[in-house]
Amino acid sequence: MDNYEKTIKRDNIYSGKVVKLDVETVLLPNNNKAKREIVRHPGAVAILPINNNKEIYFVKQYRKAIEMELLEVPAGKLEYNESPSLCALRELQEEIGFTASKLTLLGKFYSSPGFSNEIIYVYKAEGLVKSKLATDDDEFIDVIKYSDRESIAMLNEGLIMDAKTAIALSLGLNL
């Protein structure tokens, strides 16, 4: 007997700008049926931008889902048929006003595999050069930079609570 769930029915109950929500009826390994609510997401990127002085650029923005501001690395959703590396360069320009002469893929991870298929590609951006693109109409962000040491201290003190930012710092600074 396989230890996997087999989808026997899928109903899309919501399709929005960012996500789709499906309810799937699955057949369990013990032949019982169950329902699974699955958020479908096109994927995203998170970028650790580091300048020559070992300063890291962050964005501070309000997140409605948790009703508070978070300190995060620049990040964004993949557009249809967009490569993660091009998305990373676009998000850098939109969110902090830079492009990078060197972009390195550090890794990728699933953000919440218990209910979502979102995968986030994590990049390190170096050789930063001013290059601004227009921001999204619904984004209100402040750009802040901290030294690598300050960034590590904030992570260790629990002041950075965003998972993609914690992972980007850990991967990019070899923590």
How confident is the model over 98-128, as pLDDT tens digits? 999 999 999 999 999 999 999 999 999 999 9
CA angle, residues 2, 116, 140, in degrees to nearest 5: 170
Residue 78 has pLDDT above 70, yes or no: yes
At CA 67, angle to CA 65 and CA 73, rounded to 5? Answer: 75
Mean pLDDT of the chain: 93
Asked if the model's pLDDT at residue 85 lies above 70, the reply is yes
Torsion of CA 26, 29, 33, 39, to 10 degrees: -30
| Residue pointed to by tokens 């601004």 | 132
The pLDDT, as a whole number, for residue 30 is: 93
Structure tokens at 15: 């399709």
pLDDT at 141: 81
Region 24-31: what's the mean pLDDT? 94
pLDDT digits (tens, 9 = 90+) for 45-72: 999 999 999 999 999 999 999 999 999 9
